[in-house]
Each structure stands twice: as structure tokens, then as C-alpha cells.
Amino acid sequence: MKKRIFIILILFVFVLINQFEIRAQADRTPVYVHGLGGTQAGWANWQMLFTAERQMTAGSNRLYVSENGVVNFANQVRTFAPPNNNSIIFGHSTGGVVARHIERTPNIVVPFGGIITAGAPLDGARISNNLANGQTANFILNGVDKVLKGPVRQFGPLQGALYQVNNHLFKSLAQLYVNRILNNSQGGATSTDLAEGSAYINNGMRGQASAIPKIHIYGNENSPVLWRIASVASTWADGELVNVTQVAYDVCMAAKNTHIGLAALNPFLAIQYFQVADGWSISGNWIKSGSESGWNDLIGASIPSSITTFSQVMDYDQFTQCMSAYAGTQATYAQYMQCQEQSTFTVSYTSYSPINGRSDGFIKAPSQTGFNSAWSNNATRIEALGVNHLEMRNHVEMRRIYNLIFNGQAGANAFFNTPPRN
């Protein structure tokens, strides 16, 4: 009897191994799903590489209408994805949410056996909320105002053609920035679906545990995230806007220092020059840090925090009163210093100073990893350091990550093992 059980067990193990080898050796038929407003070009690079390098067919990589809601999007994908439990669905951004939706749709045969998401807003995208409530528009308006503070204070209100050029050029480029980054997602049912706390995000799907193997790749872009993603959105070289903004900051601060110097030597006009210096300082600091803090807040990657500092300030009413005791006499410097000292106080100042959290420049890291989704409990989460939302289409770090996944490394479920072509 024991011998028979042993033989059965051996046979069972043999069959399992055999099955696994068959699975591993058969070419997979992947399904690629782009993001909101994207096209099949978003996955074209990886499709070509995976097909050439791994035991994978070209699979399905199509252009979908992505603006009409997640459900509509998912139905289109299902149409072109015949059931195949050896298939992997790759979803970038909204494509990852679509993959989850298909997997969680009741009473269907799930047409794939594993899910890989990249930069997917699994818990929602805060930027959708802020587009709808006008905060994104206000952010741009404030940015324009602050960046021009130095130039306007130094050179006066921009007039005529100069004003037109600056106003329209900046605003149109700012709009381009928003449109490119947001993939024309302003308005539309899908953008509404993706908003944090929306009816779609709270429809229960993300709260359901699921056994299907899944991997969430999350971008963790370097600071300053908004200028890096803007470089890509503007089809400029990687990080080029970072260099430009760094130069802009340094120029602003240099301009500020020269005006302080002029103020020091020209007391009658000092306040004018100090005001100009203050304008350059506001411009530079918005470019350097205010813009990134504001953007991180818009995308939900901002962690509330405050900071306190202390500064010596003078009560000038008290000082004037003190000095009035010496009116009509030749007051001494010592008397002046005494009055100044008596009228000087230490005051504490506290301001909001949020911590910039991890994100791919568009979706905060916790949402990309489904931090608040029971559905993602069994997911392998892999960080793509220095990769922003748009760079996931072709960044070298993503290639390294995909190779790890296909080689069975990085803690990925063995389901995703996809051997190289011989």
C-alpha cells in the first residue's frame, strides 16, 4: 500500500513538473493596456523587446477608447483578450485599474493568469479630484504670479506686446504641461472614476482579496518630480527642465542679492530695491521648492507637516517712544542701542511645510502599490527608482525590473517566469 502511494506521489510530482515546464516553455500571449489618453505606442517598446528576448508572442497591444469610464475601457480590452490562463496582462496607469476590473468582474472567464501594473492609481488619483475642483488651475495661476514677481517689480508691469507674449506664452505652455501630463484627462468619465473616493474607486472591487498573481511596479521619481515629468511631457531631454529651473533659481537669487546691495548704498530708494529683491526671492523660491510642494499636494504625495522658526523683531512704536525721551538733544549711539534693545523681541513663526512623499510625479506611491486595497495584499511590489509616470514606457530601470520578474527574481511569483528565447 505504502509503495503504491509512493508511486502515485512520484507520478503526481512528475506531472506537476512536466506541466510547469510546458507552461514555462510555451510562448505567452501578453495583453498590453495603455493608460488614460494613451495609445498602443505606450507599450510598443516593451512589446518589441519581450517578443524578441522572451518566450512571448507579440500578443495584443491595441488602441482603446480610454475616456469613457473604466467599465467601458475594460469591456473593450476583454473583447480582444481571449481566455488564456498562461497570459499576462500588462497595465500602465489606468490600464492597471482596467486589469483589476476585468479580474474582479463577476461571471466571466478571466482571460489572463497574472497581472503586472506599472504606475496604476489603484487607490485613485488625487490629481483627478484637483482638476475637478479647480485647484490645479489655481496652482498654475499662483505659479505664474510668483514667477513673474521679480521681473515685474524690477521692470514694472509688463506692457503691450511684452505682456501679451509673457502672459500667453506662459499660460499656453502651462496648459500644454497640464494636458500632456494628464493625457487629456480633464473631464471625462474615466477621470471621474479615478478620483479618490469616487463611486468607482469605492465600488468594492479593490476591497476584495484575490489569488491571481500580481506585481505592482511603482515609480519613485527623484526631486523635483514635476519638472522631471514636465521634461518628458514636453519631449525635452530627460531632466532638461530641471537644469533650466535650477538656472532660473540661481539667477533669481543673484538678482535678489544685487538689489540688496543697491539698497544698502542708496538709502533714499532702499525700500524700492528691497521690494524688488523680495520679488526675486519669491520667484526663485517658488521655482525651487514652492512649485514641487504645490504639485505634490495636487497629486496627493504631500505629507502634512509644519515648521517653526524664531526671529528678532522690533516694536517701532515702543522704540519711537523710547527715543522721544532724547528729542531736542544730540542722542548718543549708546542711547539708541538701549532703546533698540528694549524694543526688540523674539517672535516665533510657524508655517505649513509639507514633506514631499514618494511618487512617480503623477500618482503617489501608496496608490501605485494598492496600499489601501485588499485586492493587492498578495502583490509583489517593486520600486522603480528615478522613474516617472511617463518614463515607464521606456526607462532602462524598467527593463531591469522586467528582466528580474521574468527571471523569477525580486520576489515575483513564479507564474511570471518567462525564459529567454534560445
Partner 1 sequence: MKKIKYPPKPHFFISIGLSAMLIVTLSKCQKDFEIERKNLKQDATSEVMTLKYEVETLTIPILQNPDEANSQEKIQAMMFSDKSKVEMTLFKDGTTRWQMETVLPSHDLSVQHLTPAGKEPKAKFTRIDRKGMGSFYDENEVLLYTHQVPVPSFADVVANLKENPNAIFAAMGIDTKANLNQILANAKAKGYTIQDLGNGMISVRMANSGIRATATRQSGSTDSNTIVNIFNTSLGIMIGSTLYNEQEEIISQAFYSYELNGQERLVPKAFYMQNWDIDPVTREKTKTETHTFFENVSVTLNQL
Determine if the peptide bond prior to 224 is cis (ω within 30°).
yes
Q: Which of 269, 338, 378, 420 binds partner 1 (CB under 8 A)?
A: 269
The HSE-up count of residue 57 (CA atoms within 13 Å, CB side) is 14
Q: Pairing between strand 380-385 and 214-220?
A: parallel
In this structure, what C-alpha cell is assigned to residue 414?
513564479
Amino acid identity for residue 254 in this structure: A
Q: Which residues pair with 117 in a beta bridge?
A: 91, 216
Residue 385 within binding range of partner 1, rule CB under 8 A: yes
Q: How far is the CB of 237 from partner 1 (least distance, A)?
A: 9
Residue 164 within binding range of partner 1, rule CB under 8 A: no
Rounded Cα gap, residues 183 and 288, in angstroms: 25
Rounded Cα gap, residues 101 and 65, in angstroms: 16
Closest CA to 388 of 232, 174, 175: 232
Measured in whole angstroms, how far is the alpha carbon of residue 349 from the centre of its chain? 31
Q: How far is the CB of 195 from partner 1 (least distance, A)?
A: 16
Q: How far is the CB of 299 from partner 1 (least distance, A)?
A: 11
* Site size with partner 1, rule: CB under 8 A: 121
Taking the least distance from each CB to partner 1, the nearer of 19 and 172 is 172
In this structure, what C-alpha cell is assigned to residue 373?
486595497
Q: Which stretch binds partner 1 (CB under 8 A): 28-36, 81-89, 203-211, 303-311?
A: 303-311
Rounded Cα gap, residues 201 and 71, in angstroms: 12
Residue 275 within binding range of partner 1, rule CB under 8 A: yes
Q: Which stretch binds partner 1 (CB under 8 A): 31-39, 77-85, 241-249, 390-398?
A: 241-249
Taking the least distance from each CB to partner 1, the nearer of 85 and 257 is 257
φ, ψ at 88 (rounded to 5°): -110, 135
Burial-class residue 45 by CB neighbours within 10 Å (0-12, 13-18, 19+). Answer: middle
Q: What is the 3-state secondary structure (H, E, C) of 404-415?
A: HHHCCCCCCCHH
Taking the least distance from each CB to partner 1, the nearer of 106 and 156 is 156
Q: How far is the CB of 71 from partner 1 (least distance, A)?
A: 31
Taking the least distance from each CB to partner 1, the nearer of 42 and 361 is 361
Q: Which of 61, 296, 373, 376 binds partner 1 (CB under 8 A)?
A: 296
Residue 166 within binding range of partner 1, rule CB under 8 A: yes
Taking the least distance from each CB to partner 1, the nearer of 71 and 236 is 236
Rounded Cα gap, residues 10 and 15, in angstroms: 9
Q: Lay out the site mask for partner 1 across 199-228 (x = CB under 8 A, - = otherwise).
A: ---------------------xxxxxx--x
Residue 52 within binding range of partner 1, rule CB under 8 A: no
**Which positions from 346 through 375 interact with partner 1, judged by CB under 8 A?**
349, 351-359
Rounded Cα gap, residues 299 and 131, in angstroms: 10
Q: How far is the CB of 91 from partner 1 (least distance, A)?
A: 25
Taking the least distance from each CB to partner 1, the nearer of 242 and 382 is 242
Q: How far is the CB of 255 from partner 1 (least distance, A)?
A: 5
Taking the least distance from each CB to partner 1, the nearer of 15 and 269 is 269
Q: Lay out the site mask for partner 1 across 118-147 (x = CB under 8 A, - = otherwise).
A: -----------------x--xx-xxxxxxx
Collapsing DSSP states into helix, strand and coil, what is residue 420?
A: strand
**Which positions from 168 through 187 interact with partner 1, judged by CB under 8 A?**
169-170, 173
**Which positions from 4 through 33 interact with partner 1, judged by CB under 8 A?**
none
**Which positions from 312 through 341 interact with partner 1, judged by CB under 8 A?**
312-314, 316, 320, 323-324, 326-331, 333, 336-337, 340
What is the DSSP annotation of 259-307? HHHHHHH-GGGHHHHHHHHHHHHHHHHIIIIIHHHHHHHHHT-EE--EE
Taking the least distance from each CB to partner 1, the nearer of 8 and 385 is 385
Q: Which stretch binds partner 1 (CB under 8 A): 9-17, 49-57, 153-161, 406-414?
A: 153-161
CB atoms within 10 A of CB 193: 26
**Which positions from 69 through 108 interact with partner 1, judged by CB under 8 A?**
none
Q: How far is the CB of 169 from partner 1 (least distance, A)?
A: 6
Tracing cell 495603455 back to the chain, one arrives at: 34
Q: How far is the CB of 282 from partner 1 (least distance, A)?
A: 7
Rounded Cα gap, residues 280 and 155, in angstroms: 12
Amino acid identity for residue 214 in this structure: K
Q: Residues near 37 by Cβ (< 8 Å), separated by ≥ 6?
A: 66, 67, 182, 183, 184, 185
Q: How far is the CB of 173 from partner 1 (least distance, A)?
A: 5
